[in-house]
Amino acid sequence: MGGAEHRLGLLAAAPLALVLGLGFLAPLAIVAAFSTMPERVFDLGHAPDFSGYAEMIRQGYWRSLLRSLAMALTATLILMVLCWPLAWAMARIWRRFTLVITIAVVLSLFVSENIRLFGWVLVLMKGGLIDGYLRHWFGVGVDGLLYNPPVIVAGLVYVYFPFMLFPMAQGIAMAPEDARAAAMDLGASRWTVLREIDLPLAAPGIMVGALLCFVLSAGAIAEAKLLGGRSVISIGDDVETAFTYAQNWPLGSALAVSLIAVLGGLVAIGLARVDLDRIMGRR
């Protein structure tokens, strides 16, 4: 590690570090600072009294935090099961079809999630694609597909699908094929191979995917708003209301800090166990 190379590294890191310092760390610091302030103040020149947290507990905002975390966890678990066969086939069996799926899934990422969720509203609504055609063909439609918690979870599963699929497929591809073959030769059943070989070896990829999906869906707003109507208020929704209509910065900050503390803790634990150089293919 030469001195010149160290200087080059520092210099090259500077632009991104600057953007993230001013546009990521500083805003989070200010949110943390405001979360300690008395109610409805708009500057930091007051003695901290943590009333935002007190209000969060008194007014029951912790319930929407728990609800959002529960929905995020459900979506993540569903995604693990849904993505596993596909990720496995992409990494182990298919060649050309893997490319097709990769391109198609990446393409879908470039369409705003509100347009895609709006599409689901058109599919599921009364007189929508499903209800309308069922009524047209059979005379009976299905109503009430929208505006309930399960459809919000389905929306989360849909939007964050790529964030589970790709890390999982990458994790599976990193596990050596020989280990499977050896276990098979030694007479292990398919189930044993899955439990003892496939899952542990693919664990880093699965963990990255699960972390991403959980974190992103816990703070998501659009799914609950567009698909859920007002049937469920997510924690992100509460933060938005506090920051905008209610103009209660300390409360919004306390809510945001509580969410970020949970998610940040998980990410810190998870990322500490992952070797980035290896996942990203250092030679």
Residues 49-88 that bind another protein (CB under 8 A): 82, 85-86
Contacts of residue 278, defined as CB under 8 A and 6 or more positions apart, other chains included, come to 174
Q: Which helix (H) or strand (E) holds 247?
A: none
Contacts of residue 260, defined as CB under 8 A and 6 or more positions apart, other chains included, come to 28, 31
Give the footprint of another protein on residues 181-240 (CB under 8 A). 181, 184, 211-212, 215-216, 218-222, 225-226, 236, 239-240
Count of residues touching another protein (by CB under 8 A) = 101
| Minimum CB–partner distance for residue 117 and another protein (Å) | 7
In the list 23, 45, 139, 187, the residue contacting another protein (rule: CB under 8 A) is 23
Site string for another protein, 163-182 (x = CB under 8 A): --------------x--xx-
In the list 15, 60, 139, 187, the residue contacting another protein (rule: CB under 8 A) is 15
SS3 at position 48: coil
| Minimum CB–partner distance for residue 16 and another protein (Å) | 4
Cα 43 from Cα 40, distance rounded (Å):
9
Residue 91 engages another protein in binding (rule: CB under 8 A): no
> Angle CA(209)–CA(114)–CA(207) in degrees, nearest 5?
5
Nearer to another protein, 78 or 123 (CB): 123
| Minimum CB–partner distance for residue 276 and another protein (Å) | 5
Which residue stretches of 125-248 are H helix? 129-138, 149-174, 177-185, 190-193, 199-218, 222-226, 235-243
Residue 158 engages another protein in binding (rule: CB under 8 A): yes
State CA 75 to chain mean position distance: 9
> Angle CA(248)–CA(249)–CA(250) in degrees, nearest 5?
100
In the list 8, 54, 66, 99, the residue contacting another protein (rule: CB under 8 A) is 8
Site string for another protein, 104-143 (x = CB under 8 A): xx-xxxxxxxxxxxxxxxxx---xxx-xxx--x-------
